[in-house]
């Protein structure tokens, strides 16, 4: 079995680390491809070092660009590597342009694609990441869903249950694995920055909708400045944000702006802060896992479990709203922390990487050639009337399908465990 793992950004290295570790333990053969979407040491190599990941076998070196430029370069370069290495399956994690390119290139070449962290939906198609998720999930031969809600989202889009596995989120695995190192490092990190435990706010901002919009970016920075008059605010700044601040000219005085941190240093700060203000996806998950209250600088989230369980507040990018809601979170911190600790972690038990590797090792994924089947096989179609109501469902021969198949569609709101056993 020869696998190909494709990664290209900071969060992909972090979240694929447990999968790579488990593949190594099972002795599976894989090629590790680095796309080069991220290239600064602090967004790439530092994670290979800290997480003891192997050096990539291939570096596509695609760098930055517009979405179309970057995706086109990624696809062109990846096509050559897939052609040369001939993997049986290509695996990618998350929702970046690297993932989009991996899904489209492999599928078009007839090579199965497996998507780790499938089924997340913000329901906001103005987000580039949402487009990438929808395309990757719909093309994937295997969708590794991190939560029950992600399973529901996938089935809602008509993705067959045979292409979905509920495995948890690898973010918990890597966090748990490194927690003792983080505890050891924490006093040094806090000391170097002159911070005390539970005496500061942590901020991260890099999302396109916040950084490429001057009004939003200035609002967020202005809110952080105001909060920093009451309590220290530490802001490890993503290079995208640094470049946009240069363009839009927001004032940073009072905010402790630092370079992007390594994983262990970042988790040291996250585990010691009063609350985190962020538009990151991974940070919302990590904060919940560590029992840290989150103020999310967005109007929606593809991690709604954290909001529903009372650990995360969706605040958006309005200056006053950010300041007031953060003060409120600080005042009610004990209660919020208690709520998070009492909840079952929706992101799983820290064994996702192992589950993914075992599934990859045990399933046969076939390279697809042109379809030669002559038997009529069923495709289901939803018919809607003009008010959007579902009238009926048909198979490819125009025959209404059995109620068992209908049940599959109408029970998608139930818990995933039941859904999976209901599978026809």
CA dist 101 and 81 (Å) reads 13
Q: Which of ligand UD1, ligand UDP, none binds 286 (CB below 5-8 Å, type-dependent)?
A: ligand UDP
Run of H or E residues at 294: strand 294-296
Tokens 């967004």 correspond to 43
Binding partner of residue 38 among ligand UDP, ligand UD1, none, CB cut-off 5 to 8 Å per kind: ligand UD1
CA 283 – CA 281 distance, rounded (Å): 6
Applying the rule CB under 6 A, the residues between 48 and 67 that interact with ligand UD1 are 64
Q: How far is the CB of 243 from ligand UD1 (least distance, A)?
A: 4
Binding positions for ligand UD1, 18-37, rule CB under 6 A:
37
Instruction: Report d(CA 12, CA 135) in Å as an integer.
Output: 18
- 128 forms part of the interface with ligand UD1 (CB under 6 A): yes
Beta bridge partner(s), residue 2: 29
Identify whether 206 is a catalytic site residue: yes
Q: Does 40 bind ligand UD1 (CB under 6 A)?
A: yes
Does 130 bind ligand UD1 (CB under 6 A)? Our answer is no
Residue 177 burial by Cβ neighbours in a 10 Å radius (0-12, 13-18, 19+):
middle
**Interface characters, 296-325, with ligand UD1 (x: CB under 6 A):** ------------------------------
Q: Between 87 and 262, whose beta carbon lies closer to ligand UDP?
A: 262
Q: Please give the residue ranges that form the binding site for ligand UDP (CB under 6 A).
A: 10-11, 14, 204, 206, 236, 260-261, 263, 266-267, 280-283, 286
Question: Per the structure block, which two tokens stand in for 372?
Answer: 């030669």
Q: Which does 39 bind (CB under 5 to 8 A by kind): ligand UD1, ligand UDP, none?
A: ligand UD1
- Shortest distance (Å) from residue 376 CB to ligand UD1: 41
Retrieve residue 351's tokens.
């064994």
Torsion sign (Cα): 213, 219, 224, 228 = positive
Listed residue (270, 208, 182, 283) closest to 234, CA to CA: 270
Q: Helix, strand or coil for residue 354?
A: helix
Identify the DSSP state of 308.
H
Residue 9 is a binding residue for ligand UD1 (CB under 6 A): yes
The residue within the footprint of ligand UD1, chosen from 1, 26, 28, 39 (CB under 6 A), is: 39
Catalytic residue among 156, 206, 238, 328: 206
| Residue 290, CB-side half-sphere exposure with 13 Å CA sphere | 28
Name the residues annotated as catalytic.
206
Residues that bind ligand UD1 (CB under 6 A): 9-11, 37-40, 43, 64, 95-97, 128-129, 206, 239-240, 243
């Amino acid at each position: 079995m020869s696998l190909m793992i494709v990664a290209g950004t900071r969060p992909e290295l972090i979240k694929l680390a447990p999968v790579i570790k488990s593949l190594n333990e099972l002795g599976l053969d894989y090629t590790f491809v680095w796309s080069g979407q991220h290239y600064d040491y602090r967004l790439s190599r530092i994670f290979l070092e800290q997480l003891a990941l192997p050096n990539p076998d291939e570096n596509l070196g695609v760098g930055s660009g517009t979405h179309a430029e970057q995706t086109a370069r990624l696809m062109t370069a990846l096509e050559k590597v897939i052609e040369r290495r001939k993997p049986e399956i290509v695996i990618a994690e998350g929702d970046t342009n690297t993932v989009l390119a991996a899904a489209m290139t492999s599928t078009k070449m007839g090579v199965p694609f497996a998507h780790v962290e499938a089924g997340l939906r913000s329901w906001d198609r103005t987000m580039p990441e949402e487009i990438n998720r929808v395309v990757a999930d719909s093309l994937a031969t295997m969708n590794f869903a991190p939560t029950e809600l992600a399973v529901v989202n996938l089935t809602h889009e008509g993705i067959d249950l045979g292409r979905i596995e509920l495995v948890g989120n690898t973010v918990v695995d890597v966090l748990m694995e490194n927690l003792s190192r983080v505890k050891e490092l924490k006093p040094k990190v806090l000391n170097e920055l002159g911070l005390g435990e539970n005496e500061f706010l942590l901020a991260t901002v890099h999302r396109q909708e916040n950084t490429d919009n001057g009004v939003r970016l200035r609002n967020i920075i202005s809110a952080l400045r105001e909060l920093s008059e009451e309590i220290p605010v530490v802001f490890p700044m993503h290079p995208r944000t640094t470049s946009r601040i240069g363009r839009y000219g927001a004032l940073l005085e009072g905010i402790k702006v630092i370079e992007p941190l390594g994983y262990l240093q970042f988790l040291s700060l996250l585990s010691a802060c009063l609350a985190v203000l962020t538009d990151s996806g991974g940070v919302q998950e990590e904060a919940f896992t560590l029992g840290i209250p989150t103020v999310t600088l967005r109007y929606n989230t593809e991690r709604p479990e954290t909001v529903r369980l009372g650990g995360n507040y969706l605040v958006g990018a309005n200056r006053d709203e950010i300041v007031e809601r953060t003060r409120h979170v600080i005042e009610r911190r004990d209660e919020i922390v208690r709520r998070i600790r009492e909840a079952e972690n929706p992101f799983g038990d820290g064994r996702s990487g192992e589950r993914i590797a075992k599934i990859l090792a045990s399933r046969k994924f076939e390279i697809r050639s042109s379809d030669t089947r002559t038997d009529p096989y069923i495709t289901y179609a939803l018919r809607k009337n003009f008010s959007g109501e579902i009238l009926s469902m048909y198979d490819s021969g125009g025959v209404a399908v059995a109620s068992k198949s209908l049940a599959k569609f109408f029970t998608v709101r139930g818990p995933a465990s039941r859904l999976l056993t209901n599978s026809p």
